[in-house]
Amino acid sequence: MNPDQAGAAEARPMRDAIMAVLRRLDRDLDGVVWVITGSVGLALQGMSLEPRDVDLQTNEAGAYEIQRRLAAYTTRPVAFVARERTRSHWGAFVIDGIEVEVMGDIQQRAPDGEWDPAPDLPRLARWVEVDGLRVRVLPLAYEADAYRRMGRTEKAALIQAYADANATTDH
């Protein structure tokens, strides 16, 4: 097997593992407001990435409800965490070897030092379907802006370039 084939063989099981976790989340978190963000959200919208974990955004109540429903998988209980540029009700879980991070009512610090309001996820999110699973993700333009505001300008530029090259009217 040449190196390219080896990489492809390794990538597929990770994708399958992430899809299995997404299916479990879809089943176990029914009725909770949550959207997929980060590398999985970007990959679900067509970007060529190899996600290693799953990032979810929700509201404050959703973060603690997810904690309750995924209690057996907890590696870091949900708690309010403030960093220099972001703050949220954050927790971490490991499901079938895949880390799942949850951020409830995430806020980003504006250039003036004030905190922006948490996003209105039900209004903002869009649906994508992959392998028969229908999940909500954050739009690419929103993700690009979020990365930019976190100071991750190179990643923001890549996301924005992909969004611009693949613009659709379904947002």
Distance CA 119, CA 126 (A): 13
Name the DSSP class of 115.
B
Query: Which of 83, 137, 143 lies closest to 107 in space, CA to CA?
Result: 83
Residue 170's pLDDT is 47
Q: Greatest CA separation found in the chain?
A: 54
Residue 12's pLDDT is 54
Q: Over its length of 171 residues, how does the chain's per-residue pLDDT go in tens digits? A: 333 333 343 445 558 999 999 999 999 999 999 999 999 999 999 999 899 999 999 999 999 999 999 999 999 999 999 999 899 999 999 999 999 999 999 999 888 999 999 999 999 999 999 989 999 999 999 999 988 888 888 998 999 999 989 876 444
Distance CA 64, CA 48 (A): 32
